[in-house]
Amino acid sequence: MDFQVKPLASALGAEVVGLDMSQPVDEDTQARLRQAWLQHLVLLFREQHLGPEDLIAFSKRFATPHTHENYEAELRHPEHPEILLVKSRRVAGRETRFGEQWHSDMSFTTRPALASVLYARKMPPVGGDTCWANMYLAYETLSRPMQRFLDGLEVVHDINFGKTHRDRPFDLLAESRARNPAVKQPAVRVNPETGRKALFVSEWACPQFVGMTREESQPILEMLFLHSTQPQFQFRQHWRPDDLLIWDNRCTIHLALGDYTDLGERELMRTSLVGEPSGAYVVKDEYPGAFHNTNDFHRQK
């Protein structure tokens, strides 16, 4: 099958033109798509018309979709647990937009997502873009001493560190911690398909390095958060309804912008594709931030 790949930004991102992803593709076409994805990290397909089953079928061409047991039931599609419903919603009495901090999907588990797929169903007339950053470049542009320092470190990934969890009632926070205990991951990981090293930290999930105090960790992490999200490392997606997009979580982080006013207008479906085992659960001595009461938790914010 003939198709074109058009780069959308210097750092990452490309549009695939000429394919209808609701239809089967042959093995050669799928192999070429995967190579384009490994090269550009983010692939966009415009004007696709997909139902839930089509989205799952597309995702399976790249890897096995998660069934998202670690997410709240209201976030999952009622008939297809492989699909998360990405839209603004009321949580604990507050209107909440998810994804407004830089992150890598499911980095807070011991099977971080290999990839994620988003399909846009409804978008606001303006705003609601998503940005991605190239974490290969983030690592490769660090100084050699900083690279050597980070190569030997592990960092805590804790979904409950994110700002959407602030001020949550204790029972909801406790439920979230029960579903998602904090894990430790390498600060730098290697993509097995490309052999390239990528920085593996994000502002949403990473409060500190393992074996270091919060006070020692924070200046370094803040520098890395700012360094990795420089504009020259980014691609920004201006969504249209029926856009389909897949990205490599092993070497990118992303951010959803909340610059739209009508909370009911931005709706997408997402799948997360199962990655290789990575990391391990932390113990309290490694991460005292696994707090047992909300006062301690919020005081550390």
Interval 30-78: pLDDT, tens? 999 999 999 999 999 999 999 999 999 999 999 999 886 666 656 766 6
Nearest to 55 by CA among 79, 83, 26: 83
Q: Which residues contact 281 (CB under 8 A, 6 or more apart)?
A: 110, 181, 182, 183, 184
Question: Quick count: other Cβ atoms within 10 Å of Cβ 81?
Answer: 15
Cβ contact 245:45 at 8 Å:
yes
Helix (H) or strand (E) holding 218: helix 214-228
**pLDDT of residue 288 exceeding 70:** yes
- Segment 161-215, tens digit of pLDDT: 877 666 666 666 667 677 778 999 999 999 999 999 999 999 999 999 999 999 9
pTM of the entire predicted model: 0.89
Tell me which residue of 126, 141, 118 sits closest to 229, measured CA to CA: 141
pLDDT digits (tens, 9 = 90+) for 90-116: 554 556 666 789 999 999 999 999 999
Q: Can you say whether the dihedral through the CA atoms of 53, 56, 61, 65 is positive or negative?
A: negative
The pLDDT of residue 90: 53
Vertex 222: Cα angle to 216 and 227 (nearest 5): 135
Domain 4-299 has CATH 3.40.50.620: no
Other beta carbons within 10 Å of 184: 23
Measured distance CA(217)–CA(211) in Å, rounded? 10
Question: Which amino acid, one-letter code, is at 294?
Answer: T
Q: Which residues contact 161 (CB under 8 A, 6 or more apart)?
A: 204, 205, 206, 207, 289
